[in-house]
Copies of this chain bind each other. A is one copy, B any other.
Amino acid sequence: MARESKKKRPNLRDVSREAGVSVATVSRVLNTPSVVQKDTRARVEAKIEELGFVRSAAAFAINSGRSRLLGALIPTLESDIFSLTISSIEQTLVEHGFSLIVATTDDDPEKEASKARELVDVGVEGFFVTGVDHSDALYDLLRRTKVPAVAISYYDDGYHLPTVGYDNRLAAETACAHLLELGHKRVVVIHGPLTGNDRNIARVEATRSALRAQSCWFFEGPISVAGGVAATQRAIKECAPFDAIFCMSDVMAFGALHELHRAGLSVPGDVSIVSIHNLPASEFTHPPLTTVNLPARQMGRRAAECLAQWV
């Protein structure tokens, strides 16, 4: 009774003592059960069950050097694209026996570096970063600790980290090509923040060059439905008439669609909309969105497999 209450958690030695075997044997039961005699094993396993023993993760990690933890540094979880990606990363990692720590960075390189540092402190064996544009502090950390990292949401062969993602320039170009094909001449481009966001920068640059022969207006806003609404309002006020809107993100397109309806403009009659992402919900807007597919789930899976293999 005193035992029950004062003891915190049983450890290997407790089990070994109670089962009348050595610590090594208990450890073997845990790690290589096949090498220990059947009845001994049964006895030890019974004691483990009885005492409610669970091996200390810390102690395991300390001599195996393996924490079975990976981290993910993403701008936000409040955007479907990233939550979709994280979701599939997590699902893939469990298959490989890893757990996933998420850390959000708000697209702030400083915050990213400090959270990366925390991840390393907490013992991750590797992590994901979003995009290819990072602070020196982060690169420094990677160099010093040699922790494996893969970049997601961005595909760039020449980058010094493995990248798993899509070609953001190509995605924008594809959308632009579609607009050009339809013969649009006056295009409003609505995109997310450019500071610290290489993905948006790549898309905007590609768009500028693809639409160089067209009249274009660029509007920046937060990547949200409200952001799309606000940008579209400004566009209607400042640069109507236009015949197309290109949203760099489906969620902003939802907002654009809403605002166009509100303004009495029909889609695609008066204005065409194209965007990038192809979220599950984009199929059910009115009309359905024309959007460049970014295979977020697939990317998550690939990235997870890449990192799991590496470590």
Contacts and interface: CB of A to CB of B under 8 A. Distances in A.
A279 B288 CA distance: 21
A102 B104 contact: no
A224 B171 CA distance: 26
Given A56-B123, A99-B103, A258 B284 contact: yes
A65 to B, nearest CB: 8
A102 B122 contact: no
B115 A94 contact: yes
A99 B86 contact: no
A280 B86 CA distance: 20
Given A57-B121, A121-B54, A123-B58, A254 B87 contact: no
Nearest to A49: B144
* Residue of A68, A84, A122 with most partner-chain B CB within 10 A: A122
B83 A99 contact: no
Q: Report copies per complex.
A: 2
A311 interface: no
A120 to B, nearest CB: 6
A69 interface: yes
Interface string A61-87: 110000111010000111010011011
Interface string A108-119: 000000010011
A54 B280 contact: no
Contact of A100 (B58, B101, B144): B101
Nearest to A119: B99
A226 interface: yes
A94 B73 CA distance: 13
A55 B254 contact: no
Contacts of A244: none
Interface in A280-301: 280-281, 283-286
Interface in A226-252: 226, 229, 251
A261 interface: yes
Interface string A241-279: 000000000010011001001000000000000000000
B99 A101 contact: yes
A52 interface: yes
Interface string A1-33: 000000001000000000000000000000000
A91 interface: yes
A78 B83 CA distance: 6
Contact of A57 (B54, B102, B123, B146): B123
B54 A58 contact: no
* Residue of A99, A121, A281 with most partner-chain B CB within 10 A: A99
20 contacts: A52-B144, A54-B145, A57-B122, A57-B123, A58-B58, A58-B60, A58-B61, A59-B62, A62-B62, A71-B99, A77-B84, A80-B83, A90-B102, A90-B103, A91-B104, A99-B118, A100-B101, A225-B280, A225-B283, A261-B286
